[in-house]
Structure 1
């Protein structure tokens, strides 16, 4: 009787294990428009050419003009990187993005996202069970940030990262390497181990290998405070001030189509050399 019970208990586990190992990621599905293209790139010296940079014009989540464009960037012109957190499910969970700035005023955002099939919706629970592929999106800010603040009604915060200019190229190229890896080897998204925040910390470890594990790597809504405690955000401010001044939601919602979105959302956001009334960083 005991053996029979054990068999009955093990059979569902074996069936799940067989199902699990037979699931294979693929690029050949009917993808939603906003994740339909894979980022591709080539490099000649310091100039990289990116194909399939997303630049949609969003009027609503269902009403948009799709645009996938080709962009050229000079890596010698990289001058900044910003951490962006977009809150869509309470204060503890946020989507994590990184925006790179160039000295000609342009910005490019990288975001690891689930590659939804047409008509598919995201479930954090399903994200544990090989239900979604991953895609790395490179996008203009007035697409990927504006759609979160204006179309989806998410609350978005932007923080200047304290990264020496000479290391920005390393981080930028790490994102491109990840894009090529995904293009050549389809990968599953995982809510816990392979998501929008884990890619940021994995790439950050290329220039800071000693970054410690922390619960805030899972509770992504607190990731900015983790970055602050590691000395990763602009110096001269306590975290509460960075958090308050970094909220771009209202500014993004007030930007008109003819305004410079990237400039206006950064009004008041602390950057190196920005005046501060604080004497230094808060001690971790």
Structure 2
């Protein structure tokens, strides 16, 4: 019964120029996983306030299942400004509800029946949520089929070498983009070698099943021991890129869990991510022609 797919970490409002939208990588991830018919949960915390109630109402409307505690801190918000290319710049508020996700008996029970979890570095900026994430990872079933995906997600300096190193050790799939890889390489002392060699080093050093490297318009790679998959990024008219990376991760994980090969999963993840870039916001409905490729 270990079939649950969990997105764990921040739940917040992205305050965009045209208004506010539900944000946070875990919700984006869980939402897109659920669109492919897999049971998913968002794990986070919101405040005992109007913004928190609106997040819970929004998830109910989207039929997005969650395990979200209400805590005595304000619901998280992020000011998002888009540049001329539609690329977001973030101002992430601190001391908010998702910094204080409690570890509960219910959460431990969820961990015991979780097949795959996606977590990032941002929600580990505070000790409370960091400890909760680590305890959840440790409580998951110890099997070859269990997937622990660390989607690095470096934001505003809310990360340390220690947090990254611990997360590399706890995950078995690492997802990182080219800019983050340069930052990590400087921190860990891998300068002066090309991006692919850096990926091979991380794959071997942390005994990973896979390393996913996304390079924006320059394509994406999936490294596995002894093999690499590369898929070019389709040229599309970009509305905004918010949530595109989360849809990639969700599609790739869902496809693997449904028995697709790494190459097939990779190609579908790229196509779904490209579609999300053509839409406004992080949680558009994925069209049937893409969903049918996973059946």
TM-score, normalised to structure 2, is 0.27
More helix by share: 2
Structure with bigger RCO (C-alpha 8 Å, 6+ apart): 1
